[in-house]
Amino acid sequence: MKSIEECKKETQAVHAGIDEYEFGSVVPPIYQTSTFRFKDVDHGARLFRGDEDGYIYTRMRNPTVEAMEKAIAVLEGGSHALGCGSGMAAVNTVLTALLSKNDHVVCSESVYGPTTTLLSGVFGKFGVRTDFVDTSNSDLIRSAMKPETKVVYIETPGNPTMVVTNIKEAAAIAHKQGAYLVIDNTFMSPILQNPFEMGADVIIHSLTKFLNGHADVVAGAVVLKDPNLYPQFRKTLNQIGGVIDPFNSFLVHRGIKTLDVRIERHNKNAMKVAKFLENHPKVSWVRYPGLESFPQYDLARQQMKGPGAMITCELSGGLNAGKCLMNSLRIFQLAVSLGGVESLVQHPASMTHASMDKKQREKAKITDGLVRLSVGIENAEELVEDLEQALKLC
């Protein structure tokens, strides 16, 4: 009999993290409790010393949270996962666990806006320096490395430009310097991209997005390849306090069960939408890894199992035409976030990446006219019809 770790992703998504529960429950119970009762004083003392396994306080460990964490670790092929209260709590946990004063970070320039401001505005105050570079060019990663570099931090595909970084090359560069390669895998999910297989050390997810998939949870996760890193990360997360609660863990774990089938529909729908946009006379350009016109099409096919749900484009009429498009859509909802069953559209320069200054955005090729679409699982023809009617107005 195969272990769950040996099963295919479709089976893992449904069964990973599931144990045997009281009364024969087929899903993990929600342990909605802040604290756990000890058998006696000595039992409590043993738990706090680590002499005995068990539960003390939900900020430290909780059975419902652990079930979700185990599922994510299995899907990513990692040793451990840690549930966090948001994607940014996950980013903060990773950086806090790995960095000290005077350390250096090399980070993708095309990255979620608050990640940029966390590194430059918060960690910068404590003596951590960051160079933001186009990580799709491995030579730029290599030239940015310093003796004090401890972390190479990459989003691939990048948010929102969709630029793809060669994970194997980035891992080789980081490890030669003795640095950790951290990959934000939110856009792809474990169904479409497995960074540990290509040399990554730490994976980050905004669970709010594809893994939960229903726009009703804010959460994050850190996944570790090396089990020896786990105590350090668990202690950091417990001390920062950015943990996920049991109910949201339950919802994320439930969402993961349909991850594979949702991703399959996301891929099919996004491809149809991207092809429509690419052939429309009012669209200047489209960036989608599934299109042969995508600048890094071959690399995307090499390290990704599918192109995903995310598309960026710019209309020939620039910013004003983009605003018209976003205001005229009926099925696509004008909202930030991504990865849910519903299709969303947003304007990164004034929304998700507004925390970056204009020079940073321009350097990262986040133009004022760029529009980002997260393609959901609705009927693909109706999504195209929605875009078509909106473009007629613009």
Catalytic residues: 59, 112, 184, 209
Comparing CA positions, the residue from 126, 122, 3, 123 lying closest to residue 70 is 3
Q: CA-to-CA distance for 198 and 168, rounded, in angstroms?
A: 5
Q: Read off the DSSP letter of residue 184.
A: E
Comparing CA positions, the residue from 263, 179, 169, 280 lying closest to residue 213 is 263
CB-count burial class (<10 Å; 0-12, 13-18, 19+) for 391: buried
* 149-155 and 129-133 beta bridge pairing: unpaired
Q: CA-to-CA distance for 47 and 335, rounded, in angstroms?
A: 45
3-state class (DSSP) for residue 105:
strand
CB 286 within 8 A of CB 293: yes
Burial annotation 304-336 (CB, 10 A radius, 16+ → b, else e): bbbbbbbbbbbbebebebbbbbbebbebbbeee
**Cβ neighbours of residue 385 under 8 Å, at least 6 residues apart?**
none
Tokens 């950086």, residue located: 95
CB 31 within 8 A of CB 64: yes
Distance of CA 48 to the CA centre of its chain: 33
Phi and psi at 133, nearest 5°, equal -135, 165
